[in-house]
Homo-oligomer: A and B are copies of this chain.
Amino acid sequence: AELAARIPPAQRDEVEERCAEFMALPITPVQELRDHRDDMKSRMELMIMGTQAEVCRALAEADGNSSFTVDRWQRAEGGGGISCVLQDSKVFEKAGVNVSVVHGYLSEESIRQMKSRGKSLKTKDGKLPFCAMGVSSVIHPKNPHVPTIHFNYRYFEIEEADGNKQWWFGGGTDLTPTYLNPEDVIHFHQTLKEACDKHSPTFYPKYKKWCDNYFFINHRGESRGVGGIFFDDLDSAPKEELFEFVQSCAKAVVPCYLPIVEKHKNDSFTPEEKLWQQLRRGRYVEFNLVYDRGTKFGLATPGSRIESILMSLPLTARWEYNHVPAEDSKEGEILKVLREPRDWVH
């Protein structure tokens, strides 16, 4: 929009055309993105900015043409981001879609976390220059019959002490319903599977399983939700192929989720159903603050924008002591699935 006001459509080049659709100007100057348009960093930044705009537009429309609040922020240590939020609106309790493009040096804590998942990283005087960018989003609807969705697609580059460059992609999309609606869950998984299958028949089963393992609240013995796909440290296929795959996943977010929102956003619900939603929101908070890798990376990165990281937390949550739903209730039904993840599509 900012760009649209500055450059008349007829004079825009391809990069400018794309930027004109974004929620704000990209973090990297447009000139620089144009000059390095074949560089993966530029391509990824344009892709995540496009995903942000596409998802925000679809959500705003589902909400009855609401407007997202758009915050463009800078990080003193390098880079910045754009946070788009819709809070306490018609359909959504809190919908946050965040882009960040940051660079600088990895924190000691982040290096420790990366090494603990098997990365070999050669530092110089303990320092490791990095560049990370991604789009990350959590959508918490008001109606307990509309599930929460989370997605995140990211690209990392690290330069080791000997000049060697490591890079990898990570990401995923997963669904957290308050109540089980098998038809919705199948639609969600089916759409993700189709996006994966275009690239390799091995991707969906592998990343579906990784998702079930990752979004597990160990101290509760429960999954956070009904899964989806999750992957990290993807670096063994050609970069181009992985980028295409990640792009397909990002493009699948709207068709995955919006039909479910439309289907249920006007469902009636009882106070008891709202209460159960609030208790499940509590579990969401537990996962994000105790286990989530992205949240931990953010909290440990100096100068990171806390409000953008913790945008993932729901507007409201509840913890009741020893709340145990009856096994044959609707609440017991979803708990059973959270305790023993199922295969939804084959």
Interface residues of A (CB under 8 A from B): 69, 71, 83, 85, 87, 94, 96, 218-220, 278, 282, 285-286, 289-290, 299, 306-307, 310-311, 313-322
A-B interface, 8 closest residue pairs, ranked by CB to CB distance from nearest: A289-B289, A313-B319, A219-B299, A85-B321, A307-B322, A316-B318, A219-B306, A289-B290
Q: Which residues of B contact A314 (CB under 8 A)?
A: 319
User: Does more than half of chain A's interface fall in helix, strand or loop, or is it mixed?
Assistant: mixed
Q: Which of A311, A321, A322 has the most CB of B within 10 A?
A: A321
Q: Which residues of B contact A299 (CB under 8 A)?
A: 218-219, 290
Q: Which residues of B contact A282 (CB under 8 A)?
A: 313
B321 contacts A307, C-beta separation under 8 Å:
yes
A321 contacts B96, C-beta separation under 8 Å:
yes
Distance in angstroms from A318 CB to nearest chain B CB is 5
B315 contacts A316, C-beta separation under 8 Å:
no
Please, how many angstroms separate the alpha-carbon atoms of A7 and B61 in the complex? 71
B278 contacts A289, C-beta separation under 8 Å:
no
Distance in angstroms from A108 CB to nearest chain B CB is 13
Q: Which of A69, A218, A314, A315 has the most CB of B within 10 A?
A: A315
Q: Which residues of B contact A286 (CB under 8 A)?
A: 289, 310
Measured CB to CB, the nearest residue on chain B to A319 is B313
